Structure formats: C-alpha cells, structure tokens
C-alpha cells in the first residue's frame, strides 16, 4: 500500500478524521524593507488599495457568516474591523509612507501601525486599549491580503474539514465548537497546551507538533489525522482511506462498549474506592460527563466562558446561570469551578492591553484576577450566588497560587462580597469549599502552610510539569523535554498527596496525567483517591482502576519514586501496566 506522504507529530486527542484540509496561517510572517524604483511607486499604492479592498470584503463575509453561526457580538467585531481596514486616514498614511520612502506596502503598513500602537501605549482606558487589539487584528488582515495569504475562516469549513495550522490560539480553537471541523493538525502545541485540551473536549482527533505541515498541504486534497499514533497522511490512496475508516468505526464501537460500564464503581479489586470526576471546559460537555459516569466536576475552566463571550464580559447574572447549570447537572456531587485562569496563552489582551514578554510567567491566573478587582468581584459574587441556590456542593478553586498571601486575599474578598450580597438581601450558601490548584513548584513546597488555609488541593500536573522542568507546555521545540513522569514532578505530586492526607483535606489531580493509563497505577499507589479528567477518558480509567489492586499499586509507586529518569519511570510503568492488562480486555493507547 502506498500513500503520498506521512508526517509525524504528537497524537494528542484520540480518534481518526478524514477530510479536505483547511489551511490557516496565524503566525505573523516576516516583513522585509524593499526599495522601489520611482516608476514602481504608483503600482505599489494601487496594490495597497486592492489589498485593503480584499481584506474588507473578507471581513464583511466573516461578519455575515458570524451572524448566523456564533451570533451578533462576533459579527459586530468583524464589521468594526472591516471599517478599520478601509479607513481612509489609515490608508493615506501608509500611502504617504510608500511615496515618501519608496517603500513596499507591507513595510510601510508595519511602520504606520507601529506609530499608531505607540500612541495607545500607556493609555489607562480599557476601551482604548481594546482598540489597540483591534488595530493589531486589522493590521494582520491587511498584511495577509498584501502577502496573498488566506485569512482564517473556521466557520466556513466544509463538513469534516481538517484544520491545518502553524499555530492556533485557544481563542480561535473555541470557535471550532460552532463549526464542522473534523480534525486538527498544527505545527505548534504540546500534549497539554490549551488548544489540545479544547480539541479533546470537543472530541476532535488532533495531532500537534508536526513540523512543516502547512507547506506540506500545498495542493493537497485529502488528509487523514490519526490522533492515536500522531500520524498525518496527505493525499492517501483510496485503499488506505478504507483501512482508516474501519479503524475509526472500530474505535467508536469500543467507546460505546466502554460507556456501557460507566455505572460501575471505580473501586480497586481489594476494595479501595476512587472518585472519578470530570474536567469540563464548555458547558455542552455536561452530557458526555454524565454518560461517562462522572461523580461530579473536578475542574470547570471558567475562563472559557469569558473567551466565548469576549470581548464582552459575561455579567454576574450570566455567570450565576452557567455555574447553576453545572450544580443542577450534578446534584449532591462536588462541582469545582476554577476562577478565571486567563493570561499566559489564554486571551488576556482585552484585560491587559500591552503584551508581556514572558506571559506564562506573568500576569496569569490568580495574579491577574487580583490586579483586576472589579473583574474578579463579578466572578466571586456570581459563585457565591450560585452556591446559595442550594444545589450540590460548590468548590471554588483558585489557579496559579504560589504564595500563602494570595489565598488569604481571596478569602478576604469572598468574605467581603458575601457581606455585600447579604446586605443586598441575597441568601448566602450553607456549604462552600475553597481550594487551590497546586501547579507551581513553590505551592507544592509550601503545601503544609497552604493546607491550613483551604478545604482542598487539586494538583495541576500540566502546569506543574511546565514550571518544574522549565519547559513551555505548548512549545514544539522542547516537547521532548516535557515529561510529567520526570522524577522531580512525581516527587512533588507524592509530597502534596501526603501533606493533604496529614492535614485531612481532599486532594485530587486534574491535569492530563489523570487520564493517562500509565499514570493510574502510580497515582493510586501514591494514595490519590480523586481523579478529574476529560469525559471521554472516564470509561478507560474506570476499567483500569477496577483491574488494579491497591497493594500492587503501592508497590509500583514506591519503586517508581526511586528511579532516576523520566525514561526509566515510563519504561517501568509500561512494563507494569502491560503485565496488569495481560488479563484485562481493555485496549489502551500506549
């Protein structure tokens, strides 16, 4: 059997998708300064105006399409961008620069935009700073039009199209939920990048970290995405397409069989119960979490509410509705809402204005919320109001904690907003828990002190790995170094579980590791009793826990904790898991 070309990356969201490629280039392309001969200047000005007209038309199409798919808020953004793209003042400045400097249009545009951005610099007004973001977006559209590159048009994807991108920011990835994209391939990304997490939530097969995938798509008519193996096959032979269609059906059948066991308790063979909760990014995942037998929600990434509504902030009432929807879906069970974890790579330009040099180490998570008291107040009030409706148990979880003072401040704010709500005549919740994510090494190391301030810990191994190993979780150049089974990460996890047990508070783990079959025995063996994972992985993890004995798991954990390298740990766990599975009928991607 032959096929034209196979590219290899990291399979990050299981499943197989087959369809035509939809190529999107998001990374800015370098702009060169060219010196034009005098007789070419007029033609260059003409080229600028033609590109502006094309960009305006593309934006107008996007607005029309957004109106029918994602609603008026998005449509009005594209409309405003269209007006900016054909703004005579902007264009005349670029034109003037082309003439004055005999420069190419791309360079002249870049220079004019830089000057305009400089004028926004230091402006305190949020509205004006948002205009800066708009200006950047419009500049990117104009550059694309000048360079003859297509603009991303996710909503227009033909049914089952495979999105192929150099990079795709989470804010764009969430648009996939309203589209018909069947699969997803990108040059950037790692196993725990937020875009990957969204692909999993949406059940879209995905392969990331595929070098040079965009140029490989030139003239390609069809692509297979194998999210199990991390393979991307360009223009496959018809016979190969058949083979993959069969594999896709087989996978779906297996998923159906696993779902049929969702009601069984996740208890080890020697009787140790393990709670399996769901990670939910978008509310429409609630049915999948219920079908997978989730015993509650271990992580609701509330920032996606914000990203879906951006640039309009969801108001207090809208947030109360969203949190209540979760509480009503899981009556009597814990529902953990993580306060906004914006910043880093997750859309915070609206809030911050100026980009940071190193956003992953910057104003992210709780740090950003504490800098934006009004913004945080809306969320905390909404959480308190939802919790007081008397459904289930709300657990408020604060991300990116690194200092005890941060938790204390959040507690003070909660008390203050509680008082405020009481004075306004709102009832207050009878039960409410406050906890923190342990995802920064400093938090793991001061866990004993943090435990005195909170009701629970949730270990976020996606970030804990990133920050412990100093490896950007979304950077394909260092993805080989991103190893959650590195002994340093394992030791921190072990320590946090032990501290939580001593302090008698709940501890769960909600990073992607919770869904990794290799990790299940070692985590159970370290004493972890609560896992939170994306809904699709619940059945497999349940099956695994039911095949384990706690005694055996403890032995595995003790041995794993003695090993020196990530490779040794992975090989050891693979060997143990294979032995364990020899008698269990569960096919797992290893």
Question: Judged by CB, which is closer to ligand PEP: 308, or 461?
Answer: 461
Stretch that binds Mg ion, among 223-231, 278-286, 459-467, 575-583 (CB under 5 A): 459-467
Q: Using CA atoms, how far apart are residues 34 and 50, in angstroms rounded to an integer?
A: 19
- Residue 343 CB, shortest distance to ligand PEP, in Å, is 11
Question: How big is the CA angle at 317 (ends 312 and 320), to the nearest 5 degrees?
Answer: 110
Nearest residue (CB) to ligand PEP, 217 versus 398: 398
**CA–CA distance, 362 with 337 (Å, rounded to integer):** 22
Which of Mg ion, ligand PEP, none lies near 301, with the C-beta cut-off 5 to 8 A by kind? ligand PEP
d(CA 12, CA 469): 20
CB 194 within 8 Å of CB 338: no
Nearer to ligand PEP, 7 or 510 (CB): 510
Nearer to ligand PEP, 4 or 442 (CB): 442
The nearest distance, CB 519 to ligand PEP, in angstroms, is 12
The minimum distance between CB 196 and Mg ion, in angstroms, equals 13
Return the number of the residue (230 or 511) whose C-beta is nearest ligand PEP: 511
User: In 3D, which of 217, 225, 220, 221 has the Cα closest to residue 199?
Assistant: 225
**439 near Mg ion, rule: CB under 5 A:** yes
**Does 68 sit behind a cis peptide bond, omega within 30 degrees of 0 on the bond before it?**
no
Distance CA 553, CA 544 (A): 11
In the complex, what is the shortest distance from the CB of residue 442 to ligand PEP, in angstroms, rounded to a whole number?
A: 15
Q: What is the C-alpha separation between 13 and 207, in angstroms, rounded?
A: 7
Rounded CA separation 449/447 (Å): 5
Q: How far is the CB of 193 from ligand PEP (least distance, A)?
A: 9
Contacts of 187 (CB under 8 A, 6+ apart): 165, 166, 167, 208, 209, 210, 211, 212, 213, 214, 476
Work out how close the CB of 57 gets to Mg ion at its nearest, in angstroms, rounded to a whole number.
40
User: Site for Mg ion (CB under 5 A): how many residues?
Assistant: 3
**Least Å from the CB of residue 462 to ligand PEP:** 3
DSSP string of 330-365? STTSEEEEEP---BTTB--HHHH-SPPSSGGGSS-T
Tokens 């939910």 found at: 280
Can you tell me which residue has the tokens 């305006």? 56
- Rg of the Cα trace of the chain? 25
Task: Return the one option of Mg ion, ligand PEP, none that residue 461 interacts with (CB less than 5 to 8 A, by type).
Answer: ligand PEP
> Among ligand PEP, Mg ion, none, what binds residue 510 when CB lies within 5 to 8 Å by partner kind?
ligand PEP
Question: Which residue among the candidates 231, 486, 510, 534 is catalytic per the annotation?
Answer: 510
Structure token pair of residue 148: 């003859």
CB of 198 to ligand PEP, least distance (A): 10
Nearer to ligand PEP, 84 or 299 (CB): 299
510 included as an active-site residue: yes
Q: How many residues bind ligand PEP (CB under 6 A)?
A: 12
Site for Mg ion in 462-501 (CB under 5 A): 463
Q: Which of 152, 460, 484, 525 binds Mg ion (CB under 5 A)?
A: 460
Q: Which of 81, 194, 494, 534 is catalytic?
A: 194
Copy the structure tokens of residue 494. 């072990």
Closest CB 364 distance from ligand PEP, rounded Å? 9
Choice between 145 and 520, CB closer to ligand PEP: 520
Contact with ligand PEP (CB under 6 A): which of 54, 97, 144, 301? 301
DSSP of 500-526: HHHHT-EEEE-SGGGG-TTHHHHHHHT
Report if residue 439 touches ligand PEP, rule: CB under 6 A: yes
CA distances from 577 to 10, 281, 343, 497, 584 (A): 21, 29, 37, 22, 10
85's contact among ligand PEP, Mg ion, none, with CB below 5 to 8 A by partner kind, is none
x-marked contacts with ligand PEP along 442-481 as a string, rule CB under 6 A = ------------------xxxx------------------
Neighbours of 33 (CB within 10 A): 12
Strands (E), 292-432: 297-301, 334-338, 393-398
- Active site annotation includes 369: no
Q: For residues 420 and 423, what is the distance between their CA atoms, to the nearest angstrom? A: 5
Give the count of beta carbons closer than 10 Å to the beta carbon of residue 225: 31
Q: Identify which of residues 303 and 463 has a Cβ nearer to Mg ion in the complex.
A: 463
Binding of ligand PEP at residue 341 (CB under 6 A)?
Answer: yes
Q: Which stretch binds Mg ion (CB under 5 A): 2-10, 32-40, 455-463, 560-568?
A: 455-463
Given the complex with ligand PEP, which of 336 and 576 has the nearer CB atom?
336
Q: Are 107 and 34 in contact (CB under 8 A)?
A: yes
Nearest CA to 21 out of 206, 224, 193, 208 is that of 224
Nearer to Mg ion, 513 or 573 (CB): 513
| Contact map string, positions 191 to 210, toward Mg ion, x by CB under 5 A | --------------------
**CA separation for the pair 389, 399 (Å, rounded):** 24
How far is it, in rounded angstroms, from Cα 255 to Cα 173? 24
Shortest reach from residue 179's CB to ligand PEP, in Å = 22
According to CB under 6 A, which one of 510, 515, 557, 586 is a site residue for ligand PEP?
510
Interaction partner, residue 511 (ligand PEP, Mg ion, none; CB < 5-8 Å by kind): ligand PEP
DSSP code for 123: -
What is the DSSP secondary structure assignment for residue 267, as one 8-state letter?
Answer: B
Site residues (vs Mg ion, CB under 5 A): 439, 460, 463
* Catalytic residue set: 194, 510
Site residues (vs ligand PEP, CB under 6 A): 192, 197, 299, 301, 341, 439, 460-463, 510-511
């Amino acid at each position: 059997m032959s096929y034209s070309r196979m590219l290899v990356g990291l399979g990050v969201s299981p499943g197989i998708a087959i369809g035509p490629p939809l190529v999107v280039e998001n990374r800015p392309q370098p702009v060169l300064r060219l010196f034009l001969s005098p007789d070419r200047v007029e033609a260059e000005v003409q080229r600028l105006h033609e590109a502006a007209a094309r960009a305006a038309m593309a934006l107008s199409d996007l607005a029309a399409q957004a109106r029918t798919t994602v609603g008026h808020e998005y449509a009005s953004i594209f409309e405003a961008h269209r007006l900016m793209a054909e703004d005579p003042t902007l264009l005349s400045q670029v034109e003037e620069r082309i003439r004055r400097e005999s420069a190419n249009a791309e360079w002249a545009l870049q220079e004019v935009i830089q000057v305009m951005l400089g004028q926004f610099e230091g402006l305190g007004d949020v509205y004006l700073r948002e205009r800066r973001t708009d200006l950047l977006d419009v500049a990117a559209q104009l550059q694309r039009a000048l360079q003859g590159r297509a603009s991303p048009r996710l909503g227009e994807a033909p049914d089952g199209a495979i999105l192929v991108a150099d990079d795709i920011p989470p804010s764009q990835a969430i648009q996939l939920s309203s589209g018909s994209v069947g699969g997803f391939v990108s040059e950037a990304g790692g196993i725990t990048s937020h875009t990957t997490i969204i692909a999993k939530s949406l059940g879209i097969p995905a392969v990331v970290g595929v070098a040079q995938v965009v140029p490989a798509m030139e003239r390609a008519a069809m692509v297979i995405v194998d999210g199990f193996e991390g393979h991307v096959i360009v223009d496959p032979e018809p016979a190969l397409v058949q083979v993959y269609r069969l594999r896709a059906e087989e996978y779906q059948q297996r998923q159906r069989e696993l779902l049929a066991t969702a009601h069984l308790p996740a208890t080890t063979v020697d009787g140790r119960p393990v709670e399996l909760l769901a990670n939910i990014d978008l509310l429409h995942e609630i049915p999948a979490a219920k079908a997978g037998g989730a015993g509650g929600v271990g992580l609701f990434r509330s920032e996606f509410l914000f990203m879906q509504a951006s640039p309009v902030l969801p108001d207090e009432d809208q947030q109360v509705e969203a949190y209540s929807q979760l509480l009503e879906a899981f009556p009597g069970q814990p529902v953990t809402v993580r306060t906004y974890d914006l910043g880093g790579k997750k859309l915070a330009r609206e809030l911050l204005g100026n980009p940071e040099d190193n956003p992953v180490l910057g104003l992210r998570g709780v740090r950003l919320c504490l800098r934006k008291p009004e913004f945080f107040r809306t969320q905390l009030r909404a959480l308190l109001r939802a919790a007081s409706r008397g459904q289930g148990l709300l657990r408020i979880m604060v991300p990116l904690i690194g200092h005890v003072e941060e938790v204390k401040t959040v507690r003070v704010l909660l008390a203050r907003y509680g008082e405020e709500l009481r004075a306004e005549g709102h009832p207050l919740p009878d039960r409410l828990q406050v906890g923190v994510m342990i995802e920064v090494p400093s938090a793991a190391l001061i866990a004993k002190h943090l435990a005195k301030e909170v009701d629970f810990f949730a270990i976020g191994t996606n970030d804990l790995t990133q920050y412990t190993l100093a490896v950007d979780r979304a950077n394909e150049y260092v993805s080989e170094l991103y190893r959650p089974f590195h002994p340093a990460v394992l030791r921190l996890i072990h320590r946090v579980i032990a501290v939580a047990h001593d302090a008698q508070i709940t501890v769960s783990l909600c990073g992607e590791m919770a869904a990794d079959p290799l990790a299940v025995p070692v985590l159970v063996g370290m004493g972890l009793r609560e896992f939170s994972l994306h809904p699709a992985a619940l059945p497999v993890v349940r099956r695994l826990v039911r095949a384990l004995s706690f005694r055996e798991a403890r032995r595995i954990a003790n041995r794993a904790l003695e090993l020196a390298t990530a490779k040794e740990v992975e090989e050891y766990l693979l060997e143990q898991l294979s032995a364990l599975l020899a008698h269990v009928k569960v096919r797992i991607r290893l």
